[in-house]
Structure 1
């Protein structure tokens, strides 16, 4: 137990140090975390840490999927449902079939093993690509499509994975039966996820206690995931449906106190889960290196390189026809949704980074068949899955910023971001105008003292004055200068409050209340800041 705790502390220290280094050299943290995990695994005296597939699939995956689903806009998800389904279902199945065909004819793997390997390496992980894409200011639609794909593609891959394992262990497979089972799983999980989302929201609304509500929010993804997974489904679709339901219906049912505390809690939790997951994935390199000595290394390397090339090429081979063919065949689609540029499509194709879910699926393979024979090609599948993760995460992850800059895709997003900020300013002004009209109506209907009305109007005018009049560079500079000065004043207040506490003029409880107000003011200030947008 003590050794386990020491390893956990080492991982936390590595997570914090690697995150700081990633920020300093401007590289996606996931890439450095994977490499750091590999380096730590070979440190003399470091015990072998084997990543449990149940830890990933049952403990890490539900909150990751749920958090991303809650952060996703249901309206944007629905508006981009066609490309999301084409990628998360069509591209995953196409990639799995491509890997099965290539490994069967070029290497001689049995069809079942090839399809199983394809199902394991088919789903891309979007953590690293999305982190890079957001930082580069890419168009919103690319981000929505990639995030939507990342939410649903694990479900498709895990269902295919189950079919392949059953076919290998029993020797039986029926395509019509598999299609019917797939459709039933999708429908049932969506209904179950919506029910869990409704139950969670109403339970949290009636609790009216931030600590209880956050605890219930933590239980929600596990309830949505574990029940379908235990019954033979994937659990992913139910968790996505639950998160999207809460994303759309939660704002009016979740209190402000819960929202403020919950954002911090979930941000920290996802940061730790994602970081530890990539570190632990890197740690598997030592275990795989020891296992690779049992069979020809050259064969493993060739298979890994072949599979990596196949999944990269297969994604491009799917993305371009899936993007432009529906528009060529359907005038309705063409008019409703004009074709994106080939540059944006190329970026979507380039984001085929694989992650820890692929490794967890490989680790979850049984060691033996029902008859007692060893599961065929298990160690090779495990090594290839890790190799594909390493190649795509480091290769594609490091190359993505260069590709985005080379294609100048961010240029397409600049005008979009400008329009979004203009709409935000307009929404803020209109909301304040609506509040002012409501204040006028309340003043007429109720007997309010002049002091109360004067205080409310002063608050309203203060909030109105904090909204920039425009987004031109001069106005931005004034706003930025005011924000910096306000921060300096807040710092002065904090120092003075500390002096009063030290001199015994106020209690610690008083100091905490004042500090909370100052913290909220500074957080609100950061939220109101507007970056200078290159026009």
Structure 2
């Protein structure tokens, strides 16, 4: 039945969850009918077995729900989710709280139910199941960012709603009729924080254990299967926090950490297994929950229908406030991507409720500590609201999307598709001609078929020419989208070949997706902005630098620097393969001018990556060579594996020999996957040694100097020294380039040069403004250390005099250096 549900949903063009719910309801209604009818008694045992299934809320909450949530976290691109954390939290958390409060107070206003029970109902119906609208958005090629926001909502809103459910369920069971909403919301963050910490700890322990079982894939998968259930039970029963939050935190942690600790194939197999488990869990939870609908609606009354209508209106209005009020405000503040009104309408109508809502309602009806009248109302309202969203909204969602025009290509995409068809048919005609010659086919048949194909080609070319009025700006944007898409496909191929490690794959893939979205939303400028971001130092890197400089904690900086090394090497490998794609494909679709411009943009990206990589090489001499040797070893192993596979397919070696060779290859590959460690302290000493200014220093003096120097990283365009600021430091350029501007004059400094010393020696405020014009690494020395160093180094004193003379400053105007106390 589950196997037939998906094809049936596709054929009827309905959401998959709607089909599952209908099947479950039909089974429940059919079992009730056959049990009570006098037409036949043969099916009574089957009907009794169905109706007496031990379906309890604990089965949903402790078995099925952790599986669904955990798999959802493993399938997410967390780096891209973090970019959109503001709208995701708005839809997932704030929207849940708003819906809970709106439904709760609306029910309290029109009914005699206590406020605690009304808020409990609001928490139950506030969780949405956006899987239907996500699947439809994917089928209509909606913006990836929009689909990602909805996916993030689907993950976190369940957690937020269930945490609120547990909070208000406690009030109802304790008999607190009118809880203080402020106190309740103050306890809400504690539930979330306790669950998040529990899930993180469980996941870290699990990853450590899985790493120990490096060659035992089944053991690793078994640990991953146990993880969500242990996190859920531990948070609920031991910590007293939210088990759902613990499962989400455990899945997110595993998604971030495991790719770098597990073999790539093991991680792939683990995610595939969880995909199958989640498919079955999702289907079973929907069908089993739908079986309960006839039972929950047995005691429905006329007044209950009015309350269901109140819940529907309050829930829809609460969601409208978020979608049409808060999201546009966040977009104006540039905290969220703008979401067009048609898409917001589709999200509003696609807020279906499903199995989680029914499972929570079932938990209320099973509790003996909840009064009977509240049990009845909760079961009826939750079930009625769920049926409305599934039957009314679910069956009309695709029609609504069609009426909004979201299922049609934009004029630019339509014109592009015509040109793509024309180019593809031209390529097919060329390949077809060579094929007919190779197989020596009958000329009459070839001539007749060629005539038919030529007519189709002529029609496609004419259609493409009719749409040739696409603006060059749009052609460039479309070409950049295609180029970034090919870059993403190339990354996938390189990961499969293990040329790029799984640890870097996610980061490089995220950069490619940013390029696609930037080109799609803002054209050339968006693409260039995303390209600059891919080589820039991020906030995390600056935080690691601060930890190293202020607290002496170097591990985060060493880890991020190592990642940056490998990232730049991976990007360089990918970018060098894109030029042929521009000439072979994009030029034929968009023409020579667009192809030349794309080549220019690609050259700039390659230059930026080479500059960043060269800066790292200068900053950490020798370490880049170690990584490149590791890359060569991994490439050699991949080629060796390919040779063994070909020999096995050709029958040159048997299965036993092949398995032995692959086992040995696997051991060597595991060793090659380990990255060399980066010792920042040792590397800084080696870097200082490369400065000609310090060539006369002994090894002991160099080590002392290295300890006194601070490392600073500057992005392109970042201000290093501002005009009229106090002179306190001297900067030595380890890599990159700096531009100085003073009194209308501009000059540039490169590796091995220094700046900032004149203001210190003249005891004046800084008159020049310095900014980085390339990703730059600086070694910084404070005033006191610089003066002592100047007193010890003849080369440094000479460099200071030469610099003063270039700027027209008499060396006699400079203050003498401090005497070296050592």
**TM-score band, normalised by the shorter chain?**
0.7 to 0.9
Q: Tell me if the contact between 1:34 and 1:278 (Cα under 8 Å) persists in the aligned partners.
A: yes
Partner of residue 388, structure 1: 385
2:177 maps to 1:178 = no
Query: Which residue of the other structure, out of 4, 8, 11, is the alignment partner of 1:24?
Result: 11
CA contact under 8 A between 2:235 and 2:241: conserved in structure 1?
yes
Larger of the two Rg values belongs to structure? 2
* Structure 2 residue corresponding to 1:237, chosen from 237, 241, 245: 245
Paired position in structure 2 for 1:75: 79
**CA-to-aligned-CA distance 1:113-171 (integer Å, 9 cap, x gap):** 21111111111112333222222322112211111111111222222222222222324
Q: Distance in 1 between matches of 2:85 and 2:130?
A: 17
| Structure whose residues are more often strand by fraction | 2
**Does the alignment pair 1:39 with 2:26?**
yes
Instruction: Report the 3-state secondary structure (helix = DSSP H, G, I; strand = E; otherwise coil) of the residue aligned with 1:365.
Output: helix
- SS, match of residue 376 in structure 1: helix
Q: What are the Cα deviations for residues 402-447 of structure 1, in whole angstroms up to 9, with x where unaligned?
A: 233332346579799986653242256588699999xxxxxxxxxx
Q: Which residue of 2 aligns with 1:211?
A: 218
- Pick aligned residue for 2:155 from 151, 164, 174: 151
Contact kept, 8 Å, 2:133 with 2:347, in 1: the verdict is no
Unmatched 5+ stretches in structure 1: 1-13, 438-459, 476-496, 501-505, 514-535
Partner of 1:248: 256
1:363 paired residue number: 362
Q: SS where residue 377 of structure 1 aligns?
A: helix
Q: 1:195 aligns with which of 185, 198, 201?
A: 201
CA distance in 1 between counterparts of 2:260 and 2:102 reads 46
Distance 1:318 1:228 in 2: 31
Instruction: Check if 1:400 corresponds to 2:407.
Output: no
Partner secondary structure for residue 42 of structure 1: helix
**Shift in Å at residue 507 of structure 1?**
10
In structure 1, how many angstroms separate the alpha carbons of the residues matched to 2:323 and 2:344?
A: 7
1:281 is aligned, of 279, 289, 313, to 289
Alignment correspondent of 1:343: 342
Residues 21 and 337 of structure 1, relative CA distance in 2, 3 Å threshold = closer
C-alpha change, 1:383 and 1:211, in structure 2 (3 Å) is same
TM-superposed CA distance for 1:396, in Å, is 2.0
Q: Which of 232, 249, 271 matches 1:225?
A: 232
Q: Is the 2:330–2:336 contact (alpha carbons within 8 Å) kept by the matching residues of 1? A: no
Shift of 1:272: 0.8
2:318: which partner in 1? 314
Question: Residue 210 of structure 1 contacts residue 257 of structure 1 at CA under 8 Å; is this kept in 2?
Answer: no
- 1:511–1:128 CA distance, 2 compared to 1 (3 A): farther
CA positional deviation for 1:278: 1.2
1:129–1:397 contact (8 Å) kept in structure 2: no
C-alpha spacing 1:361/1:347, structure 2 compared with 1 (3 Å): same
Taking a change above 3 Å as real, the CA distance of residues 387 and 422 of structure 1, as seen in their structure-2 partners, is farther
Say if 1:119 and 1:158, in contact at 8 Å, map to a contact too.
yes
Q: Which of residues 266, 276, 280 in structure 2 aligns to 1:272? A: 280
Conserved 8 A contact 2:14-2:398 = no
Corresponding residue for residue 525 of structure 1:
none
Shift of 1:37: 0.9
| Cα deviation, residue 316, structure 1 | 1.2
Distance in 1, matches of 2:23 and 2:249, equals: 35
What residue in structure 2 maps to residue 442 of structure 1? none
Task: Tell me, in whole angstroms, the C-alpha distance in 1 between the residues paired with 2:488 and 2:107.
Answer: 55
Structure 2 match to 1:529 = none
Quote the RMSD (CA, aligned, Å): 3.8
Asked if structure 2 preserves the Cα contact closer than 8 Å seen for 1:50 and 1:287, the reply is no
Is the contact made by 1:368 and 1:375 (CA closer than 8 Å) also made in structure 2? no
Are the structure 2 counterparts of residues 367 and 244 from structure 1 closer, same or farther at C-alpha, using a change threshold of 3 Å? closer
Change (3 A) 1:97 1:400: same
The two structures have a TM-score, normalised by structure 1, of 0.72
SS in 2 for 1:399: helix
1:100 aligns with 2:87: no
Residue-by-residue CA offset, 1:88-113 (whole Å, 9 max, x unaligned): 22111111111122222223433222
Is 2:13–2:398's contact at 8 Å kept on the other side of the alignment? no
390-399 or 30-39, which deviates more: 390-399
How many pairs were matched up? 439
Segment drifting more, 354-363 vs 193-202: 193-202
Shift of 1:509: 9.5
- 2:351 matched to which residue of 1? 352
CA change 1:350–1:228 in 2 (3 A) is same
Asked whether the 8 Å contact 2:81–2:148 carries over to 1, the reply is yes
SS at match of 2:292: helix
